[in-house]
Amino acid sequence: MSRPLRIALITDIHGNLPALESVLTHLASQSIDQIVQLGDAVSGPLWPAETLARLQALNAQHVLGNHDLAVLNPLMAALNPGDAHARKVLDEAQLAFIGTWPKSVLLPQGGFAFHACPRAIDLYLLEQANADQARLRPMAEISAELQDPSCMAARWIACGHSHVQRTVQLPDGRLVINAGSVGLQAYTEPATDLYPAHTHAMGSPHARYSVIEATDSSLTVTQHAVAYDWQAASHRAAAMGRADWARALLTGHGFA
Ligand SMILES: [Fe+2]
């Protein structure tokens, strides 16, 4: 049998350069054929410019996230401190680079990837955010989100956004992978028009990413939790005045 295709899925880096470096080192020994970065790369108080410089030097396919979209727009960026900070420290070439990222990509072996949900760049695909913690949505709701032709034609679908690492098989056999967040393992969102206040927390500070190994007859997903210098990231957040981030980076538990 031929060797499987190996695709590394990294997402929601949120400017956490030491987490990204540890993930790239971890995946370097795995004969990865392609790296796909699924968005929300820079928003937050950590190292947005340094993180984007690392991504500019990386041979990877990039996808736009909701915070990336906000960083590109001065009016939108001003609404969120993390987006505003990233916009302030990125140079014009870096903003232009983000502006080239598509909202979705087709990938080999029947893959299709986007940041959040096909219907909107800031909706959860796999989570029902109506509680203190992220719960898996009913399968019927997830399937209903994945009815457009690109999703229907896919064998496997990859996303990020919720920072909750999961692999879900739909009743029709399609596999949906949330790669987990490289850079921020917990956050609390206040109530919005879309969702009530909610916390998503992985429960440990390790950097998450996923690898899909695809052959013509099988799909295997490995979901990694990688050690990195989370104390350095936490100290950076604290120095930037973000005690909420500092705690979440150090523990992987929610801000509340
Ligand atoms: Fe997002």
Q: What is the CATH number of the domain that holds 227?
A: 3.60.21.10
Query: What is the CA(239)–ligand 1 centre distance, in A?
Result: 24
pLDDT digits (tens, 9 = 90+) for 1-60: 578 999 999 999 999 999 999 999 999 999 999 999 999 999 999 999 999 999 999 999
Q: Is residue 256 part of a domain?
A: no
* Mean pLDDT of all residues in 217-231: 98
Furthest C-alpha separation in the chain: 54
* Mean pLDDT of all residues in 194-201: 90
pLDDT at 1: 58
CA–CA gap between residue 15 and residue 164 (Å, rounded): 18
Asked whether residue 194 carries a pLDDT value surpassing 90, the answer given is no
Instruction: Report whether 197 contacts 188 (CB < 8 A).
Output: yes
CA–CA gap between residue 212 and residue 223 (Å, rounded): 9
| Non-local CB neighbours of 157 within 8 Å, separated by 6+ positions | 111, 112, 113, 146, 151, 174, 175, 176, 177
For residue 251, count other CB atoms closer than 10 A to its CB: 16
Range of 104's domain? Answer: 5-251
pLDDT at 190: 87
pLDDT at 130: 72
Query: What is the CA(14)–ligand 1 centre distance, in A?
Result: 9
Residue with more model confidence, 119 or 1: 119
For residue 88, count other CB atoms closer than 10 A to its CB: 11
Backbone torsion region of residue 72, taken as left when φ is above 0, otherwise alpha when ψ lies between -120 and 50, otherwise beta: alpha
Query: What is the CA(82)–ligand 1 centre distance, in A?
Result: 12
For residue 188, count other CB atoms closer than 10 A to its CB: 15
Q: How confident is the model at residue 132 (pLDDT cuts 50, 70, 90)?
A: low
Query: What is the CA(12)–ligand 1 centre distance, in A?
Result: 7
Q: Is residue 227 part of a domain?
A: yes
Q: Is residue 149 part of a domain?
A: yes
Q: Is residue 155 part of a domain?
A: yes
Q: Is residue 57 part of a domain?
A: yes
Query: What is the CA(161)–ligand 1 centre distance, in A?
Result: 4
pLDDT at 131: 65
Which of 125-129, 186-190, 238-242 has the highest average model confidence (pLDDT)? Answer: 238-242
State the amino acid at position 108 in one-letter form: P
Query: What is the CA(35)–ligand 1 centre distance, in A?
Result: 18
Looking at the whole model, is its pTM more than 0.95? yes
pLDDT at 209: 98
Element (H, E) at 210: strand 207-214
Q: What is the dihedral of CA 114, 228, 230, 50, to 10 degrees?
A: -60
Query: What is the CA(149)–ligand 1 centre distance, in A?
Result: 23
Strand 34-37 and strand 61-62: the pairing is: parallel
CA–CA gap between residue 83 and residue 244 (Å, rounded): 16
The count of structural domains within the chain is 1
Q: Is residue 247 part of a domain?
A: yes
Query: What is the CA(3)–ligand 1 centre distance, in A?
Result: 33
Length of the chain as a residue count: 256
Element (H, E) at 178: strand 175-178
State the amino acid at position 12 in one-letter form: D
Query: What is the CA(248)–ligand 1 centre distance, in A?
Result: 17
CA–CA gap between residue 159 and residue 173 (Å, rounded): 17
Q: Is residue 85 part of a domain?
A: yes
- Measured in degrees and rounded to the nearest 5, phi and psi for residue 115 equal -75, -50
